[in-house]
């Protein structure tokens, strides 16, 4: 009798284990990998990129169907548009595996802060996706391009973003938490990587784009977009974007090209870079100092140089220092004078240094920032020459020319 009761109890309890109230099984999900938001006259147009599960699986040969499907819908708000998508999508979109959010150029230039509210408020959105803006195309078009190698275009966008941040430095990965943090700390200023489309749009949308060795339409990062008051106010070119990366201590590895004494160039590989921003107050005037320590290798020599000499190495160090110094100076000038934005939170450095004095200058910070001189100190060390010393083809005879 006792046993029967126990079994009965277990059976009843097992009813509770069958699932959750709001359960959604895999076959009911449309996994969204990228979300694009554009501004249109009466609100927003959103585009979502959904993976086609059968095309992604490695086993099955492709049936010629596109690996992703992109849907577009307009709505007064982002949330409305997302819910309205169910009228045209086969399944309800599921955002927990979102990899990238593309903000359309027009939206970025008007005001994107309101859009971020939804993204960070909704529970299905996590915080591990990256945010980028589109340049000269709208987000809808960016999401329509098919890419080779990575079947899911969102993965391609994410991977090249991460890879070029790591080895080149002209882009920055920015997730929603970073963005909200920087937008709230400064005068709603931030930097976000910008993507553009290279080639014909209509070709990029068709499967033929990925069927040839030479891809006709490509997605490509071009640099960093600068935001102030939640609006995009400018776009930095690759050089200045790398300047920003240096200043933000985000450079892991990159290359620098310096000119040789006579002619030709020498390319160095930065293997380690560390930037320290130091702030202090002199009286009530804030002072900032940028200290960059760099370790590099010689990567490519296209001129006559005897790398065996210590003098040459010193020359390389000095020229790299000058080059980076110049670039940082230029970048700072753009930030201070052209845009007057403190995207790198220099103010926060001063705030940490002396909260009392910071309070006094906080109101006029942007004005002070645009005027103040920033001392730059670059320190380069060349450690290795690559896998050989002097290139044997360029021998003494050639050198004497």
Partner 1 sequence: MNKEMISSRQFTIITLLCSIGTAILIIPASITNDVQQDAWIVASIGVIFSLLIIKLFITLGKRTPSFTFPQAIEKIVGKFFGKAINLCFTMLMLLSAGELLYFIGIFMKTEIMPETPSMSFVLLFGIIVMYAAYLGIEVFARSAEILFPVFAFIFIVFVLCISPQIDIGNVQPILEASPSSMVFSTIRFMSLFSFPLVILLIVFPSNVDVQESATKGFYIGAMIGGVVLVTVILLSILVLGPTLTSSRTFPSYALAQRISIGDFLQRIEVIMAAMWITTIYIRMFMYFYASVISMAQVFNIANHRPLIIPLGMISMGLSQVIHPTIIESNLYNQEYWPILATIFMVLLPLMLLIIAMLRHIKAPSN
For partner 1, the binding residues (CB under 8 A) are 16, 20-22, 96, 123, 126-128, 177, 180-181, 184-185, 348, 351-355
Least Å from the CB of residue 124 to partner 1: 9
Q: Using the minimum distance from each CB to partner 1, give the nearer residue, 180 or 368.
A: 180
The answer to whether 217 touches 183, Cβ cutoff 8 Å, is no
Q: Using the minimum distance from each CB to partner 1, give the nearer residue, 45 or 365.
A: 365
Please name which of 43, 137, 143, 70 lies closest in space to residue 101, comparing C-alpha atoms.
143
Least Å from the CB of residue 354 to partner 1: 8
**Tokens in use for 340?**
């007057």
**Tokens in use for 398?**
């050639």
**Tokens in use for 91?**
């399944």
Least Å from the CB of residue 282 to partner 1: 18
Least Å from the CB of residue 18 to partner 1: 13
Q: Using the minimum distance from each CB to partner 1, give the nearer residue, 122 or 136.
A: 122
Q: Using the minimum distance from each CB to partner 1, give the nearer residue, 119 or 334.
A: 119
Least Å from the CB of residue 2 to partner 1: 17
Contact partners, residue 391, CB within 8 Å, separation at least 6: 301
Least Å from the CB of residue 348 to partner 1: 7
Q: Using the minimum distance from each CB to partner 1, give the nearer residue, 91 or 352.
A: 352
Least Å from the CB of residue 177 to partner 1: 6
Q: Using the minimum distance from each CB to partner 1, give the nearer residue, 215 or 345.
A: 345
Vertex 175: Cα angle to 173 and 180 (nearest 5) = 125
Q: Using the minimum distance from each CB to partner 1, give the nearer residue, 122 or 338.
A: 122
* Integer Cα distance of 249 and 190 in angstroms: 15
The answer to whether 44 touches 115, Cβ cutoff 8 Å, is yes
* Integer Cα distance of 100 and 105 in angstroms: 15
* Integer Cα distance of 227 and 320 in angstroms: 30
Residue 238 Cα distances to 60, 92, 100, 170, 345, angstroms: 41, 39, 21, 5, 21
Of the CA atoms within 13 Å of residue 154, those in its CB half-sphere come to 25
* Integer Cα distance of 198 and 149 in angstroms: 17
Q: Using the minimum distance from each CB to partner 1, give the nearer residue, 245 or 320.
A: 245
Q: Using the minimum distance from each CB to partner 1, give the nearer residue, 189 or 296.
A: 189
* Integer Cα distance of 281 and 65 in angstroms: 63
Least Å from the CB of residue 97 to partner 1: 9
Least Å from the CB of residue 351 to partner 1: 6
H/E element, 16: helix 2-16
Residue 35 Cα distances to 50, 340, 350, angstroms: 9, 31, 37
H/E element, 256: strand 254-259
The answer to whether 228 touches 189, Cβ cutoff 8 Å, is yes
Q: Using the minimum distance from each CB to partner 1, give the nearer residue, 3 or 123.
A: 123
**Tokens in use for 166?**
């790591």
Least Å from the CB of residue 30 to partner 1: 17
The answer to whether 293 touches 278, Cβ cutoff 8 Å, is no
Please name which of 106, 153, 101 lies closest in space to residue 128, comparing C-alpha atoms.
101
């Amino acid at each position: 009798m006792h046993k029967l009761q126990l079994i009965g109890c277990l059976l009843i309890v097992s009813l509770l284990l069958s699932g959750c109230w709001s359960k959604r099984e895999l076959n009911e999900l449309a996994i969204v990998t990228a979300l694009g938001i554009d501004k249109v006259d009466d609100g927003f147009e959103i585009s979502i990129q959904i993976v086609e599960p059968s095309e992604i699986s490695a086993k099955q040969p492709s049936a010629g169907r596109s690996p992703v499907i992109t849907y577009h819908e307009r709505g007064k708000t982002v949330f409305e548009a997302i819910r309205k998508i169910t009228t045209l999508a086969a399944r309800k979109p599921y955002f927990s595996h979102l990899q990238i959010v593309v903000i359309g150029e027009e939206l970025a230039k008007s005001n994107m802060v309101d859009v971020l509210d939804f993204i960070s408020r909704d529970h299905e959105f996590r915080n591990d996706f990256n945010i980028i803006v589109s340049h000269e195309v709208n987000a809808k078009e960016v999401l329509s391009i098919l890419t080779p190698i990575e079947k899911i275009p969102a993965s391609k966008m994410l991977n090249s973003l991460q890879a070029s941040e790591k080895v080149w430095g002209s882009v920055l990965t920015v997730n929603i938490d970073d963005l909200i943090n920087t937008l709230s700390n400064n005068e709603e200023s931030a930097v976000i990587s910008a993507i553009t489309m290279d080639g014909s749009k209509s070709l990029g949308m068709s499967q033929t784009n990925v069927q040839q060795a030479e891809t006709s339409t490509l997605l490509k990062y071009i640099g960093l977009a600068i935001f102030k008051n939640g609006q995009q106010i400018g776009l930095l070119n690759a050089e200045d974007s790398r300047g920003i990366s240096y200043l933000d201590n985000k450079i892991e590895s990159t290359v620098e090209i310096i000119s040789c004494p006579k002619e030709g160039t020498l390319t160095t590989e930065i293997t380690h870079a560390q930037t320290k921003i130091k702030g202090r107050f002199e009286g009530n005037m804030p002072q900032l100092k940028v200290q960059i320590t760099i370790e590099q290798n010689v990567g490519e020599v296209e001129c006559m140089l005897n790398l065996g000499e210590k003098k040459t190495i010193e020359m390389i160090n000095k020229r790299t220092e000058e080059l980076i110094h110049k670039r940082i100076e230029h970048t700072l000038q753009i930030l201070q004078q052209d845009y007057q934005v403190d995207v790198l939170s220099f103010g926060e450095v001063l705030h940490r240094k002396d909260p009392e004095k910071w309070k006094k200058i906080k109101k006029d910070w942007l004005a002070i920032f645009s005027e103040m001189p920033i001392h730059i100190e670059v320190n380069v060390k060349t450690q290795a020459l690559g896998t050989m010393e002097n290139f044997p083809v360029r021998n003494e005879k050639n050198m004497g020319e």
